[in-house]
A and B are shown apart, each in its own frame.
Chain A
Amino acid sequence: MELSLLVSCIETGAFYGLVGLGYFLFLRATGVVNFAMGAYVMFAGVAYASFSENPTTSLGLAIICAVSAAVLFAWITEDGILRPMALRVHDEFGAVMAIVALMFVIEQLASLAFGARPLLGRELIEGTAVIGGLAIDFQDLLAVAVTMAIFAVVAIWLKHGRYGRMLRAVGDNEHAARSLGLPVRRVRLVAVLVTGLICGVAGLLAAPQAALSFQSHLSFAILGFIALVLGGVGTPWAPLVGGMLVSAIESASARYIGGFARDYVLLALALTVFSLRPEGLFTIRVRA
């Protein structure tokens, strides 16, 4: 694989990994696969692109609005949908369908608020570095660096942070955690808000790199989910590994087969993973 393609693959894989990390944290906190993750990322990205298109708008304000929107939607998902449903009836399928409905509501809100044409956001950092004869935008370097930093912070938080350690307990067995007196509701809420924050950052990092529209969320949701499935849930770094693998396969198929093959190859990959190793590459080890 050429160096330029490898660089491109890392940039894209980092993005998929971030979305996969959002799925990972939400799943650990609530036990539910949140397919609205892509919609949080899309809304944040489109909001940032829309605000930053106007050269007089402050970048700081655009960033705050974008990330806040994603955090708000994540909060609505937990406190507005999942918790009320859990109090009335234990129905996982119902919860997933409610989240899918929210996904489409966010899609339409984005269309109403920002229009339907694809938008490209302003770069957070301009300029290009030439490394080994290859030009790499500083924006792309920033995106990868921020992604690595987020993964590192989340890994440290889960291992050593107060709420991170409680999240591990809640995620493993919520009833036991509640019996032990852990503040389950607060732990879940913190994890969900962190998920929203991660999705918001993913959106605003993606906006300067690819034109986003209200329809972009579906591909984010699917690719982020495949990254999670491929990587597994054994470690917070697993979605990053999964994201890199998805991106590598995507790039390789476009390079060696053709751009048209991308969707077919990814679908075949997902089916293969579900059939042969549905638990993913990294699994949770349970002591005997």
Chain B
Amino acid sequence: MKLRWPTATITACWLALTGIAQAAPPAGDPITIGVIEDRSGAATFYSSESVKGIRLFVDMINRGEFLFAAGAVGTAPGIAGRPVRAIFEDDENNPNLTVVKTRRLIENGAQIIFFVSGSGSTLQGRIVCTEQKILCMAPTNVSARIVQPPNNEYVFTITPQSETASSVYIEAFRRLGYHRLAFIVDESATAKTVADAYRKAFAAAGLTSVADEQVEAGARDTNAQLLRIRAAGGDVMFDLIQSAPASANLYRSVAKLNLKIPRWGTNTITAQPKIWQLAGAAIDGLLVVDNLAPDNPNTNELKAAYRKQYGADAPFVFLQSVVWDALMLIKKAAETAGSTDGARLRAAIEATTDFPSSYGQKGNALSFAKDRHSGAGSKGNVIVQFAHGTPSVVWDVYQPN
């Protein structure tokens, strides 16, 4: 049969376009990302949100769906043509277990490690990263110590550190005329690590601690601690509780006691929708230095993809955003380095600047360097206020940068 020229041309064009639309699926040995999560300890609630993001985004990478990040990482599915898979271990937010579980992930084939448990766990787990020369990402952790020596050579963070966040708090408190702070923490290792960093930063800025209360695990209420805080007469109560039920109990107790002290918290609260659900209206008025801005198009695009999978009402928090950014960075670094070797990946990430991010204010980007393993920039923080039980109001008094 003789093929007419126009028909052949149209057919060829159609075949070419179909070929472009249906890029070859990734093939070959998978690139394995080992994930240290917390399924049972104080970090469970926010670790589980991170894991939901990881599972979805790994699938999206294998399907070649890169959203706004396509400009930076391309559109080829997988990483360097290879499929990606994630394997998981639970360290129970217990730093003593993290090292063992990290080694187990490596024994099971992990070439890259993600830590999405508490900061205390990552501080222990990074020892294995240095020892085994494996690239490690701690996208959700905020402790600045993670990227400080010793054992910081192979670990990177994405979320703005508590030091960066603390400068935002300090400026906010300065504008409001607050000088006396009351801290309230729980017994977890992560709370202690994070609290120490904030105390140090606030003390250096001249802020005084008038109360430092601790809530024990399983506490039925926090009335005694709150009455001590009220008696101490602070300008503001700073919530550093990591456990979702304990945090929710705190706000319920504040409401029951009708305590009028201004309340500020950390992104641990915005990262755990369970707290909002349990606390209900009692959480309204709380101010938090968070990492999601409602007008960031990158955030909104990622949120839409996430909710397409998990439901229109699924809470979308900064944890999913930073996990996405970490995965995109890994893709970019592996394809630039042409390898999953830890040292090469490290060098590739250290050379990365202005990488488009899915969190923070519009235009936020990640930049790294040899002596800068925290990629967060000044636009990574957003101050939000809780209203109607959700962190829905952008604070109009001050925003960083």
A interface residues, Cβ below 8 angstroms from B: 2, 4-5, 8, 11-12, 15, 115-120, 128, 133-137, 206, 209-213, 215-216, 219, 251, 254-255, 258-260, 262-263
Which residues of chain A come closer than 8 Å to B245, judged between CB atoms?
A: 118-120, 210-211
- Chain B 235-263, CB-CB to A under 8 Å as 1, else 0, gives 00000000111101100000111100000
Q: Are A4 and B256 in contact (CB under 8 A)?
A: yes
| B290 contacts across to A, CB distance below 8 A | none
- CB neighbours (8 Å) of A15 from chain B are 220
Within 8 Å CB of B278, what residues of A? 120
Secondary structure at the A interface, as helix, strand, loop or mixed, is mixed
Give Cα A212–Cα B218 distance, bound, in whole angstroms.
Answer: 6
- Decide yes or no whether B286 CB sits under 8 A from chain A: no
A259-B218 CB under 8 A given contacts A135-B255, A211-B245: no
CB neighbours (8 Å) of A251 from chain B are: 223-224
Of A8, A120, A216, A263, which is within 8 A of B221 by CB? Answer: A8
B138 within 8 A of A: no
Q: Which of B217, B223, B249 has the most CB of A within 10 A?
A: B223
| CB of B219 within 8 Å of the partner chain | yes
Nearest to B43 among chain A residues (CB) is A117
What CA separation (Å) do A251 and B219 show in the bound complex?
Answer: 11
Q: Which residues of B contact A (CB under 8 A)?
A: 39-41, 44-45, 92, 213-221, 223-225, 227-228, 243-246, 248-249, 255-258, 278
Residue among B214, B228, B255, B256 with the most chain A CB within 10 A?
A: B256
Asked whether A116 lies within 8 Å of B219 as measured between CB atoms, the reply is no
Which of B45, B221, B224, B228 has the largest number of chain A CB atoms within 10 A?
A: B224
Q: Chain A's nearest CB lies how many Å from the CB of B96?
A: 15
Min CB gap A52→B, angstroms:
13
B225 near A209: Cβ-Cβ < 8 Å: no
Contact of B213 with A210 in the complex, beta carbons under 8 Å: no
Contacts of A260 in B (CB 8 A): 214
Closest chain B residue, CB of each to CB of A116: B40
Tell me the complex Cα distance, A216–B245, Å.
14
Q: Are B216 and A115 in contact (CB under 8 A)?
A: no
In the complex, the answer to whether B219 meets A210 with C-beta atoms within 8 Å is yes
Nearest CB of B to A162, in Å? 37
Closest residue of chain A to B278 (Cβ to Cβ) is A120
Distance, CA A183 to CA B258, complexed state (A): 56
Option from A8, A115, A213, A215 in Cβ contact (under 8 Å) with B223: A8
Kindly state the separation between the CA atoms of A263 and B215 in the bound complex, as whole angstroms.
Answer: 12
Cα separation A236 to B26 with both chains bound (whole Å): 71
Q: How far is the CB of A216 from chain B (nearest CB, A)?
A: 5
Query: What chain B residues lie within 8 Å of A209 (beta carbons)?
Result: 220-221
